[in-house]
């Protein structure tokens, strides 16, 4: 097995210098680190990570804790962060808490025990007290969802503005009976709902509460909520969704009942993957800057890890990105 001494002998360096270069020690020049890295790859050196961790060093792993990867948004985030960290010599360790606070606590505990370099977390609605304490022991940033109780750097979206603009699009087309499907469980859902209500309020219209469906951000809820909305009399002339899974559920139900879009009903979705471009000649939807958001988060986090900047302070760094309303073929003026 190739050892640090073998690399040192080939490069004419001391074993301690090679060891520090492999550990990315700040006193070792970038040029030396690059030479050591190339030699290690050529010789087939494999670092003894458990031994390094036992000596008190952090691993080169960064934990990513998300609620779900079946949601295309989070799977794209994981991919973008993985590529970002990989370029900088770090590796992504993915965990899923399924919005369960006990699972979340256990996952964070395991990451801290493994001495991860840091954690990127999409927190559950109400993390346990132990989760708060564990996170304080390691650099971490909040992603997408922001809880004031977790006083850490945050990277997210202007959720309220996004839904405000999407609602205004429908109002400007002449729609007055607009169905809304979303959640108020998480900070993101609350902000999106507030954007919808603000847009309606500013044009002095009264919201018909029968056209508001609030529940979990899941595909089944999207299906059920769409069915209930269309069962109203009179039914809505437009439906606006506020999450990726709910959008999938809405589309699934609309395909089942074969309703004319946008002749009978205008729809605005949330998230913009490949299928949204072709469904019914293109779904009007909110495009989320997934790659940009994840990459900026990853680069900032690496900067903090390497410079020793605290990510957990009373004045955290807040980075807000903007979504874009993509107008396609599923919205038009109502017939009446």
Interval 168-223: pLDDT, tens: 999 999 999 999 999 999 999 999 999 999 999 999 988 899 999 999 999 999 99
Residues of the chain with CATH 1.10.260.40: 4-47
**What does the pLDDT read at residue 54?**
43
The answer to pTM > 0.85 is: no
C-alpha angle 120/126/129, rounded to 5°?
Answer: 85
Helix (H, G, I), strand (E, B) or coil at 171: helix
DSSP label at residue 315: S
Domain 4-47 is classified in which CATH homologous superfamily? Answer: lambda repressor-like DNA-binding domains (1.10.260.40)
Q: Which has the closest alpha carbon to 156: 28, 316, 330?
A: 316
CATH architecture type of domain 159-288: 3-Layer(aba) Sandwich (3.40)
Measured distance CA(22)–CA(32) in Å, rounded: 10
Question: What is the reported pLDDT for 310?
Answer: 85
Q: How many residues does the chain have?
A: 336
Angle between helices 30-43 and 4-11 (to 10 degrees): 120
pLDDT value of residue 47: 63
- Residue 1: per-residue pLDDT: 66
Instruction: Dig out the tokens for 282 from the structure.
Output: 């293109």
Q: Give residue 212's pLDDT.
A: 97
Within 8 A by CB and 6+ apart from 332, the residues are 173, 262, 263, 266
| Cβ atoms 96, 73 nearer than 8 A | no
For the chain, residues classed under CATH 3.40.50.2300 are: 61-155+290-321, 159-288
Q: Which pLDDT belongs to residue 148? A: 87
Which stretches of the chain are assigned E, i.e. beta strand? 61-66, 91-96, 118-121, 140-143, 154-157, 178-182, 212-214, 238-241, 266-270, 285-287, 318-321, 324-326
pLDDT-flagged residues of the chain (< 50): 50, 53-56
Q: What is the pLDDT of residue 27?
A: 83
Helix, strand or coil, per DSSP, at residue 274:
helix
Pick the CATH number of 61-155+290-321 from 1.10.540.10, 3.40.50.300, 3.40.50.2300, 3.10.105.10: 3.40.50.2300
pLDDT, tens digit (0-9, with 9 covering 90-100), for 230-243:
999 999 999 999 99
């Amino acid at each position: 097995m190739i050892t640090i001494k073998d690399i040192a002998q080939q490069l004419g360096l001391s074993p301690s210098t090679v060891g520090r270069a492999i550990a990315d020690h700040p006193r070792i020049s970038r040029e030396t680190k690059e030479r050591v890295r190339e030699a290690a790859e050529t010789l087939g050196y494999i670092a003894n990570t458990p031994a390094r961790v036992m000596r008190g060093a952090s691993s080169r792993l960064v934990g990513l804790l998300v609620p779900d990867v079946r949601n295309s948004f989070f799977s794209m985030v994981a991919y973008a962060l993985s590529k970002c960290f990989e370029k900088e010599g770090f590796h992504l360790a993915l965990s899923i808490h399924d919005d369960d606070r006990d699972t979340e606590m256990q996952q964070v505990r395991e990451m801290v025990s493994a001495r991860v370099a840091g954690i990127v977390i999409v927190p559950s609605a109400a993390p346990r007290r132990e989760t708060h304490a564990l996170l304080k022991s390691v650099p971490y940033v909040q992603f997408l969802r922001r809880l004031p109780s977790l006083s850490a750097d945050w990277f997210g979206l202007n959720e309220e503005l996004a839904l405000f603009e999407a609602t205004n699009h429908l109002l400007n087309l002449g729609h007055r009976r607009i169905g809304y499907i979303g959640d108020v469980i998480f900070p993101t859902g609350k902000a999106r709902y507030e954007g919808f209500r603000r847009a309606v309020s500013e044009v002095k219209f009264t919201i018909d509460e029968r056209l508001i469906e609030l529940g979990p951000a899941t595909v089944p809820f999207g299906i059920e909520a769409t069915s209930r909305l269309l069962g109203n009399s009179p039914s809505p002339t437009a439906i606006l969704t506020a999450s990726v899974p709910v959008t999938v559920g809405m589309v699934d139900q609309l395909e089942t009942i074969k309703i004319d879009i946008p002749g009978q009903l205008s729809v605005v979705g949330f998230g913009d993957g490949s299928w949204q471009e072709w469904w019914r000649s293109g779904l009007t939807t909110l495009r989320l800057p997934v790659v940009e958001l994840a990459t900026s988060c990853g680069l900032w986090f690496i900067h903090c890890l390497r410079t020793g900047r605290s990510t957990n302070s009373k004045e955290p760094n807040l980075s807000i990105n903007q979504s874009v309303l993509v107008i396609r073929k599923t919205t038009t003026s109502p017939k009446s």
